[in-house]
Chains A and B, each alone.
Chain A
Amino acid sequence: MSQETAAPQGSDVLGAFAAQARVQGQKAAAEAWQLMTFLVAGTRFAVRVDAVRIVAPMPRVAAVPGTPPWLLGVANHRGEIVPVVDLARLLGLPGARAETSPFVLIALCDTVPTGIGCSIDALLDIVTVPADALQPPIPTLQGPLARFAQGTVHLGADLVTLLHLGRLADVGAEA
């Protein structure tokens, strides 16, 4: 083994880590995110593609008595019982008609193995944006939507809110 390829020793290790971190930081800045955009109650939203398990036609949903109104019920997706939420209602969007939502977007959640289904009206597109194009959520954003807003991103003429649907698992019954 040549001396040039030998592992760094002592303070060299820290230097090597620092250099590696800088390189990773530069890579991160240049990274691109794939976003899926969709319509809920007439509003366009986005989620990271890697946070989505699947988008599928809305299966038959069985309502469960004694649950909050935003919880539509449960659906059988490929043999798994998946909870389904009325995303429009949960986000406090006006004009929500979850019963007619034709699609379910099943979001990945750390604590819910099957993921959580969200009713959506339409799947619009999948776009790739540089990670640094993501802006913080609009400061004036209030209400339930603020809880799920991970940021905003300009997509064409739209200012689209990026949702962090993994936070669905943290929603309390009081929502």
Chain B
Amino acid sequence: MQSLELLVFEAGGTRFATPLSDLARVVASAQAPPAGALDLGLLAGGQQASGEACLVVARWPDATVRIDRVNQVVRVSSGHLHQLPGYIREHCRLPFIWGLAELETEAIIVVDLPRLCADGLAAQQASGEGDRQPQRGP
């Protein structure tokens, strides 16, 4: 059975996970995030990240996403990865929510990081912030 390594992290009060293969790097930084950094907490309808920034830099497209903190790295077998059920997909307005990973005691939302970044950058450009993109993390 195939397996996947996931980075588990928090943003906007929710736990998320994303495949390590989609990440260029993770940066824990006391510095302010770079201009144009996407905020996953806000994108997911939660709270904006505050205090010290923690950043994940996508492998593609070239974008930096601000999160609250990193929790762990886990290896999950494909049998414990589920795409979002169709009924939920119909009602979910966030296309970057890919599905769920079953960990020992909980299910964690898996985000499609390339999709999140592509959509976030497109939204920034549409709102006139695009001239600040693309940005790489520190």
A, B in one complex: yes
Contact of A88 with B by CB under 8 A: no
- CB pair A62–B46 under 8 Å, yes or no, is no
- CB pair A66–B85 under 8 Å, yes or no, is no
Contact of A30 with B by CB under 8 A: no
Contact of B44 with A by CB under 8 A: yes
Please report the number of residue pairs spanning A and B whose Cβ atoms sit closer than 8 angstroms: 62
Interface residues of B in 85-131 (CB under 8 A from A): 85-88, 90-94, 97, 100, 102, 105-109
Q: Which of B14, B44, B107 lies at the interface centre, i.e. has the most chain A CB atoms within 10 A of its CB?
A: B107
- CB pair B91–A67 under 8 Å, yes or no, is yes
- CB pair B100–A66 under 8 Å, yes or no, is no
Give bound CA distance, A60 to B105, whole Å.
Answer: 8
- CB pair B93–A62 under 8 Å, yes or no, is no
Interface size class of chain A, counting residues whose CB lies under 8 Å from the partner chain: 20 to 34
- CB pair B97–A64 under 8 Å, yes or no, is yes
- Checking A71, A74, A112 against B100 with a beta-carbon cut-off of 8 angstroms, the contacting residue is A74
- Checking B14, B87, B88, B107 against A76 with a beta-carbon cut-off of 8 angstroms, the contacting residue is B107
Q: Output the nearest chain A residue to B96 by Cβ-Cβ distance.
A: A66
Contact of A81 with B by CB under 8 A: yes
Give bound CA distance, A60 to B103, whole Å.
Answer: 12
Interface residues of A in 137-173 (CB under 8 A from B): 169, 173
Q: Which residues of A contact B93 (CB under 8 A)?
A: 66-67, 173
B binding-site residues for A, Cβ under 8 Å: 12, 14, 44-46, 82, 84-88, 90-94, 97, 100, 102, 105-109
A binding-site residues for B, Cβ under 8 Å: 60, 62-68, 71, 73-76, 81-83, 112, 114, 116, 169, 173
